[in-house]
Amino acid sequence: MKNRSEELVEVIGKKIVTGEYASGEILPKVEDLSEIHGVSRTVVRESLKSLATMGLVRSNQRSGTIVLPRLDWQWWNLDILTWEIENNNKEFWLHLTEVRLGLEPVVASLAAKRATDQDMVKITDAFYRLEQSIGDKEAWASADLDFHESILHASYNELIINTGRTLSKALLLSREKTIQATEKFEESSFDGPTKEALKRHRSIYEAVLARDGEKAQAEMTNLILDVMRIIEFIYNDHS
């Protein structure tokens, strides 16, 4: 259960992420926020400190508390990632997919070269879970994340693995929402619990098992480009 300070952080943080409090805007004074939200001034000050740590605001005695530009936000903060995903923002979904595009093809190539026999067992188990998840959106989203994480860990690149772990919950939320949003459209077959999506993942799986780094990288690139194409399709044609 969240305390009053954490609750207020969420309320104000969501307003910033959704644009209700715009970049450059001055937030209400501490005493006004205290009255508006029915909390003590101490709670307000604690909340503003937390928001400042996230890079969402900056406070000083003269100008008050100002909302910072999106480029200043601490994007790897899980709360910010979660609020942005809940905001259903096309640009954020595309940016998150671009991060995947920059990392996961390289990860697949490294895994094909570096995976141990034990890693291969974990990758195989994760793929079998995908096979068993056809038709089940939630099970597919979870199995899909596990499949990609098993390949991530087999890359043995500590910096990339740490980045992947930081993003793991946000990526799971993104997968769930993408699947829900695309299930109405024929184009969703590449990003949901379908045989076509399984076929795409099988190509990656077989390339990694064959230790074909070049093919693993190419197949992972194709899969993520499909996800990006779906997002563009949904928002451009069916928003």
Token pair recorded at residue 75: 């994007």
The mean pLDDT of 64-77, rounded to a whole number, is 95
Q: What is the pLDDT of residues 133-150, one digit of tens each?
A: 988 888 888 888 899 999
Q: Using the 3D structure, point to which of 72, 94, 128 is the last residue of a domain.
A: 72
Provide the domain count of the chain: 2
Give the helix, strand, coil percentages of the chain, each rounded to 5: 75, 5, 25
Q: pTM to 2 decimals?
A: 0.81
Please give the Cα distance from 219 to 215 (Å, whole number). 6
Minimum mean pLDDT among 173-177, 192-196, 229-233: which range?
173-177
Work out the pLDDT band at 179, boundaries 50, 70, 90. low
Nearest to residue 85, comparing CAs of 6, 20, 17? 17
Nearest to residue 8, comparing CAs of 200, 25, 30? 30
Q: Using the 3D structure, point to which of 36, 54, 72 is the last residue of a domain.
A: 72
Residue-range definition of the domain harbouring residue 146? 78-237
Instruction: Mark whether 124 and 20 lie in a shared domain.
Output: no
What's the one-letter identity of residue 73? W
